[in-house]
Amino acid sequence: MRALSLRPMLPANEPVPRDEVGFIHEIKWDGYRLLSYLDGGDVQLISRNGYSFNDRFPNLAEYLRKKDLQAVLDGEVVALTKEGRVDFSLLQSRNSGIDICYVVFDVLRVRGEDLCPRPWFERRRRLEEMIQSEGPLLVSPLLSGSASDCLSFAIEQGFEGIVSKREDSPYLPGVRTSYWFKQKILRTLDCLLVGVKVDRRSVAVAVYRGDGALVYLGNVGSGLGQGELGFLTEALETLGKLTECPCINPPRDAHQWTWCKPLLVLEVEYLEFTSSGRLRHPVFLRFRFDKEPQACLMEV
């Protein structure tokens, strides 16, 4: 089994159709999407972009090698905190002591048989017959209830969102298709503009801590158009430039920023806070001229 050219099937970025007839729902896992090619003692963990992750996750590769399977599995490697919660930022660490889990949600081949044309429910049955949730392996649980119920559950448990799949769905390698749908849980936050890098089209944002200290949350570039950047360039003169970062935790590249007084409020959309207190995947939404700077407080 040396055909390593498969690519993961991708979901449409939109909610499931309203009638939801014939759909199942799963957690949208926040990690590295990997196809695992298992041929007895030969194991290859291949990323969505075609790179080998064997060196990144040697313990997982060794565990799968001992399973002595002949199959191609699709899943997501996630990192777990001590409390058992998924934390993507831990995956970016090279610490070998990180507790990882390979969440498997599909099987593409078994002993040379191509299962991609088969409906999802048949592939799921074959998957459950072949592997169990043990060690670093977890067969992705199916959620009960409507998509709305499942999304509420994901929010309560701190997951990234849900994926809804048609039960009769074939597996279309490398295709983004409306057989599957994903809904991400996005949050918004009102932040203070504290710095600008016009040449790199980004701004630095912060919020006030309970004791009045200003805390840097990272930089935002996505969502800023030329009009917004032009406005900010002019606004710097009105806001008042500072010689150094006004935050208690300035970034390492603080000398590269033009800092200003924290007087302008921005609303940003983000996925979550990282373990280091930074906004993950922040996107600029709008200026909040209707909000007082003092109202931008750190979420507890």
CB atoms within 10 A of CB 13: 10
Q: CA-based angle 87:91:92, to the nearest 5?
A: 120
Quote the CA–CA distance of 282 and 208 in Å, as a whole number.
18
Q: Which residue has the tokens 């899943």?
A: 75
- The residues, any chain, with a CB within 8 Å of residue 233's CB and separated by 6 or more, are 196, 198
**In the chain, which ranges are continuous DSSP H helix?**
58-67, 88-91, 120-130, 147-157, 226-239
Quote the CA–CA distance of 238 and 268 in Å, as a whole number.
22
The answer to whether 11 and 27 have CB atoms below 8 angstroms apart is: no
The answer to whether 165 and 24 have CB atoms below 8 angstroms apart is: yes
The answer to whether 235 and 265 have CB atoms below 8 angstroms apart is: no
Catalytic hit among 28, 66, 261, 291: 28
Is 197 one of the catalytic residues? Answer: no
For residue 91, CA distances in Å to 40, 53, 98, 153 come to 27, 12, 8, 24
Q: Which residue has the tokens 């032009």?
A: 230
Q: CA-based angle 94:98:101, to the nearest 5?
A: 115
Quote the CA–CA distance of 16 and 18 in Å, as a whole number.
6
By annotation, the residues acting in catalysis are 28
